[in-house]
């Protein structure tokens, strides 16, 4: 199969995953009409997603997989989900990073998308426990003319620690590094958000590392797509009153927005015009 065909398959499967998660299930005939492909192509895509544990096949279609609270998907699996939402969130969140500030970027695929948007913000100091995020800045610097750091390029500090399936460094080494630092803003991706559980993750060590991130930041900005609302991981690490801003996407349901209106954080819905915008 050619690279172009592989890319098209990846795009189709990302769209199918989005539909399954957003609607709670899809039928093959609906997908064939929406994607303009054959039944056989859709069934192959569903087979591939089912083998990866991302959907559960049922008669005539597919439904979401009910994940246990301790399940932690890998970076590659998560990177295929909610692609456009993550781009919208990253674009909105990047505007909250002031030139010359010290910021922290915790791990995750939304933080990875945000890192790419921060390359043009001058003179940042970036502390991260994400191998993928650090690589974004490192690769950009290597691509600069002459191989040297470009003017205004970020100074990046990568914490040590034990690597998780999400390519995030956690544990005592990471915790000790973060405890000694102070950030203007923490940009934090999460596994789940709920009123009762606050911010949560399926990884106990990551929960502890995230607690240190939150304590070391003057301002906490959570970057999370709409599918994270109502999800609860094994371990909570922060309450919602510790969050200054939640940046999410337009897929957030009306019920969730109403629920969030009663909570302390500011809600920023990326990709939507403000309610009081001029028409």
Q: In whole angstroms, what is the distance from residue 187 CA to residue 104 CA? A: 6
Domain count, the chain: 2
Whether residue 144 lies inside any domain: the answer is: yes
Q: How far apart are CA 259 and CA 256, in angstroms?
A: 5
For 114-147, what is each residue's pLDDT tens digit? 999 999 999 999 999 999 999 999 988 877 655 5
Write down the pLDDT at residue 18. 78
The C-alpha atoms of residue 176 and residue 78 are separated, in whole angstroms, by 28
Q: What pTM was estimated for this model as a whole?
A: 0.71
pLDDT cut 90: percent of the chain above it: 51
Alpha-carbon dihedral 236, 186, 130, 145, rounded to 10 degrees: 170
Residue 276 lies in a domain: no
Instruction: Specify whether 108 is located in the same domain as 222.
Output: yes
pLDDT at 60: 83
Instruction: State how far the Cα of 134 lies from the Cα of 137, in Å rounded to an integer.
Output: 6
Do residues 217 and 87 touch, judged by C-beta distance below 8 A? no
Consecutive 10-residue averages of pLDDT for the chain (279 residues):
55 83 81 91 90 80 65 49 82 97 93 94 96 92 66 90 89 96 96 91 93 98 91 91 96 86 93 59
DSSP letter (8 states) at residue 195: T
> What φ, ψ does residue 125 adopt, rounded to 5°?
-110, 120
Residues 55 and 97 in one domain: no
Q: What CATH number should be reported for the domain holding residue 139?
A: 3.40.50.1360
In a domain, 277, yes or no: no
- Encoded tokens for 274: 């403000």
Burial class (CB in 10 A: 0-12, 13-18, 19+), 249: buried
Two structure tokens written together for 168: 């995030």
What pLDDT, on the 0 to 100 scale, is given for residue 142?
A: 79
Name the residue with tokens 């913000």.
121
Q: What is the DSSP letter of 154?
A: P
Boundaries of domain holding 17: 3-64
* Pair 183, 227 in one domain: yes
For residue 69, tell me if it sits in a domain.
no
- Both 114 and 13 in one domain: the answer is no
- 10 Å Cβ neighbour count for 60? 11
End-to-end CA distance of the chain: 48
User: Are 143 and 20 found together in one domain?
Assistant: no
Q: How many Å apart are CA 231 and CA 69, to the nearest integer?
A: 9
**Does some domain include residue 278?**
no
């Amino acid at each position: 199969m050619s690279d172009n065909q592989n890319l098209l398959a990846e795009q189709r499967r990302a769209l199918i995953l989005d539909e399954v998660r957003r609607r709670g299930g899809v039928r093959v005939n609906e997908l064939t009409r929406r994607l303009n492909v054959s039944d056989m192509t859709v069934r192959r895509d569903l087979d591939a997603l089912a083998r990866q544990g991302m959907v559960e096949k049922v008669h005539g279609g597919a439904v979401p997989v009910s994940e246990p609270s301790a399940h932690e998907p890998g970076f590659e699996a998560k990177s295929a989900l909610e692609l456009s939402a993550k781009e919208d969130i990253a674009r909105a969140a990047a505007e909250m990073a002031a030139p010359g500030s010290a910021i922290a970027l915790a791990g995750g695929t939304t933080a990875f998308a945000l890192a790419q948007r921060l390359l043009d913000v001058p003179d940042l100091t970036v502390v991260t426990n994400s191998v993928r995020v650090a690589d974004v800045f490192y690769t950009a610097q290597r691509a600069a003319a002459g191989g040297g750091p470009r003017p205004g390029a970020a100074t990046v500090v990568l914490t040590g620690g034990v690597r998780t399936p999400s390519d995030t460094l956690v544990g005592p080494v990471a915790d000790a590094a973060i405890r000694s630092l102070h950030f203007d803003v923490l940009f934090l991706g999460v596994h789940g958000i709920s009123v009762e559980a606050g911010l949560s993750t399926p990884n106990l060590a990551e929960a502890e590392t995230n607690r240190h991130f939150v304590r070391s930041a003057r301002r906490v900005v959570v970057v999370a797509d709409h599918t994270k609302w109502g999800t609860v991981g094994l371990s909570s690490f922060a309450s919602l009153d510790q969050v200054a801003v939640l940046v999410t996407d337009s897929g957030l349901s009306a019920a969730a927005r109403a629920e969030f209106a009663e909570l302390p954080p500011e809600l920023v819905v990326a990709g939507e015009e403000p309610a009081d915008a001029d028409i």
